[in-house]
Amino acid sequence: MVYSAAVLDRVVIIDTETGGLEPDEHSLLTLALVTGRDTDRLDLTIAEPNIVVTPKSLEINRLDPAQIAATGLPPAAACDAIEAFLERNRPGQDWILCGHNVTFDVNFLKRLYRLAARPFPKRLGHRTIDTHTLLWALGATGRLPPLKGSDDAFRHFGLEPPTELRHTALGDAVATQALLLRLLESM
């Protein structure tokens, strides 16, 4: 099936790197947004007032909490940057958030807005696209072999991001944008 590239105009890919798995407990460290057609990218480092991390998360994302605290944006400034990105790319329009296990990233984005004492932007709505779910569905219907996660999916489609960009918010958001295109082509 061939898709129209225009369907990507409403999509923004999100990826986060965090201090752990629990958005009520652990900090959001970095966040990236990539437009559906990859015409614009936003890469933010966020300095929460109290940075909470686990050793396992730092092993995966290779981030330094001291550097995050020194160079990151406070939550309100990060929200301003996100809203400016959304407005610049789709003035006054709604978006559909897309990611790999997107609920995880959305929950940390909501944490950011809570820390900034702001309501979650209505223009981000409640609709999402999850590349993990798309992989599962295509595997369940036999259109793809069973793929366990993003690493398997990137390898299958020849999208392996460079090692230094893997498990960075921007590197994974760019790879997820490319994965979304390959999944649409597989439907």
- Domain locations along the chain: 5-186
Give pLDDT, residue 2.
Answer: 64
For tokens 């923004």, the residue is: 12
CATH architecture of structural domain 5-186:
2-Layer Sandwich (3.30)
136-145 pLDDT, tens digit per residue, is 999 999 999 9
Q: Residue 103 has which token pair?
A: 């609920």
Do 183 and 138 meet the contact criterion of CB atoms below 8 Å apart? Answer: yes
pLDDT per residue of the chain (187 residues) written in tens, 0 to 9: 567 788 899 999 999 999 999 999 999 999 999 999 999 999 999 999 999 999 999 999 999 999 999 999 999 999 999 999 999 999 999 999 999 999 999 999 999 999 999 999 999 989 999 999 999 999 999 999 989 889 999 999 999 788 888 899 999 999 999 999 999 998 8
- pLDDT-above-90 percentage for the chain: 87
What stretches of 2-121 adopt beta strand conformation (E)? Answer: 11-18, 28-35, 41-45, 96-99
Query: Where are any strands of DSSP class E within the chain?
Result: 11-18, 28-35, 41-45, 96-99, 128-130
> What amino acid is encoded at 20 in this protein?
G
